[in-house]
Amino acid sequence: MPMISAFALPVTQRMVHLSSVDLVIIVFYFALVLAIGFYLKGQAKTSEDYFMAGREMTAWIAGLSFLSANLGSLELMGWAAASYQYGILAAHWYWIGAIPAMLFLGIVMMPFYYISKTHSVPGYLKLRFGEPSRALSAISFAMMTVLMSGINMYSMALVMKVVLGWNINFSIWVSSLTVAIYVGLGGLRSAIFNEVLQFILIWAGSLLIPILGLVEAGGWQNLKAKIAVNASAEYTHLWRTLGSFSDNPMGIHWTGIVFGLGAVISFGYWTTDFLVVQRVLAAKDLRAAKMAPIIGAAFKMFVPFIVILPGLLAIAVLPVKLTGESAALATGGHSYNEVLPLMLARYCGPGLLGLGITALMAGFMSGMAGNVSAFSTVWTYDIYGALINKKASDAEYVRMGRWATIWGVLISVGTAYLVMQFLSIMDYVQALFSFFIAPLFGTVVLGMLWKRTTPAGGFWGLLAGTASSIGMWAWVKIDPSALRYVALSTHARDMAENMYRALWSWVVCVVVTVGVSLVTKPKPDSELAGLVYGATEIPSDRQMPFYRRPIFWAAVVAVLFVTLNFLFW
C-alpha cells in the first residue's frame, strides 16, 4: 500500500461537533503551554539550563516528567489499539515491561549516570568506551527518535480525523509548531513543566472513558463475560494462557514476555533511552535522581486503567469490528488504531469532549516534546559538538539546540507516513526498540557492572547487536517461513516476533562484547572512577530515616507490582 494513500482519502464524516465550551478549553490549553515556553525562555541562557534544566528538578517533578514523556499519544492510542488486538496481554508492557526496569534504573544505574554528570546516554558511552561507541549510539538514537516522533503525528491526525473530521495536515502542523515553539524557547525546563501539566490533563481527560465504559458494561465481571462472547475468554487473562504459543491472541510464550520484554526491551528502554533518562538527569541531587524513577513506577502501575481498559471495553461495547489499517482502508471501516477516538466519541458530550480532546492533544505534545528535546540534546552534544564542531562555545550549543528542535519537528512530520505500513502503532514501535534499544542495553549494563569490558568490546558488541536485529527483521520480511526460527513458532504475530528479535539481538551484543573484551586491553581502574561498579564510591543514604531511603520505596512498589500480577493472573 502506498504510504500516502490513507491521507488521500476523503475526510471522514465527523462523529461529534465541538461546542463553544470545548473550543475554549482547547484554545486555553494551547495558550497556556505557549505562555510557559515564553516565560521560561529567560531561564535557558546556558547549555546546562537549556539541555538539562539547570539540574534543579525535585524528585516529584522529575518523576512525573519521566513518566509523562512516555505517556504520549503512543501510549494512549497505541496501547488502546494493542489491547483491542491482543487483549489484557498488552498490560504486560506496563507491569513486567516497565516496573522492574524503572526500579533498576533508580537503585542501580542512576548513581553512575548522575555522578558522571553526563548530558546523555551516548555521553556516558563516550566516557566508558570512547568516541566510536558514542558516535554509533548517538546516530542510532537520533534516527530512532525522529522515526518515533512520526507516531505522535499520526496519532493526533487520527483523533482529529475520526472524532472531529478535521483536516489531517492542519492538525499535524498546529500541534507540531506549538511544540517547536515552547521547546525551542525554554529547552528541557519548558518541556518538563509542560509535561507535568500534561500528565494532570491526560489523567483528568482519559478517566472519562474507563469510568463510563465500566458503567455501560456493568462492571468488570460483566465486561469479561461480554469479551468472552465477542472475542474469547483468553483476552482477559494476563499469564494463564502463556504456556503455549497457540493459546493466546498474541501467539507468544511466557519466555518471550519474561525474557524478551521483561529482561531486554523494558530494561533497554527505561535505562538507556535518553528520551526518559534525560528527565531524571535534571534532578537536583542524587537522592532525587534515584527517587524519580521510583515515583514514576508507582504511577505507571495504574496507567493501564486509562490505556488498556478502553481497548477491552471496545471489544465489549462497540457495534463494529475493528481491523488492521490496510483492511480498514480497503473497506472504509475503522482500524485498531482508532479505538480510543471511537470510544471518546461514544462517551463524551459538550465540555467533557473538550477535556478528552485536550487530554489526547496533551499526550501528543508530551510525547512529541520528549522526542524533540532528547533529539536536540543528543544531536548538539554527541553529533555536532563531538563530530562537527569540537570547539563550539556554550552560546553556539544553545543556538544549535534551538535549530535542532526545529529540524527534529520537520523531520518528524515526514516520518508520520512510515507508520501507515504497520497494522498497529505498537508493532512499529517495538520493532524500532528491538533494532536500537535492546542491544544498547547490553552494552550499557556490561559497561556499568563489569570492569573488564573494553572500548573495543563495547563498540563491536553494540554494532553486532544492532545489525543482527535489523538482519533478522529483513530475513522474516523476505522469507516469512523464517518466523519459526526468530520467534520460535509459526503462530507468532508481529508483537511476539519483536520480543524474540530483541532477545536475540541482546544475546548477540553481550556475547560479542564479552568475547572481544576478553582478547583486548581494558582501561585501568583509574579511568573508570564514577563509571563502573567496583571503581566508584557511591554516596550512602544509611544515615537517613528508612522512610526517606529510595530502596524502601522501591520495595513498596515491588510488592504492589507482584500483587497486581497475581490479581489478574
pLDDT digits 0-9 by tens, 244-282: 777 777 777 888 888 878 888 788 888 877 667 777 777
The whole-number pLDDT of residue 54 equals: 52
pLDDT tens digits, one per residue of 130-158: 888 888 888 887 777 777 776 666 666 66
Burial of 545: CB neighbours in 10 Å, binned 0-12, 13-18, 19+: exposed
The whole-number pLDDT of residue 46 equals: 66
Bridge-partner residues for 283, per DSSP?
57
> Is the Cβ–Cβ distance between 126 and 134 less than 8 Å?
yes
Domain 5-425+532-567 has CATH 1.20.1730.10: yes
CA dist list (Å): 31 to 37, 40, 170, 526: 10, 14, 17, 52
The whole-number pLDDT of residue 461 equals: 94
The whole-number pLDDT of residue 14 equals: 55
Longest dimension (CA), the chain: 70
Low pLDDT (below 50) residues in the chain:
1-12
The whole-number pLDDT of residue 420 equals: 57
CA dist list (Å): 158 to 68, 74, 317: 21, 12, 21
The whole-number pLDDT of residue 498 equals: 81
CA dihedral defined by 70, 76, 82, 87, rounded to 10 degrees? 110
The whole-number pLDDT of residue 108 equals: 84
Domain layout of the chain by residue ranges: 5-425+532-567
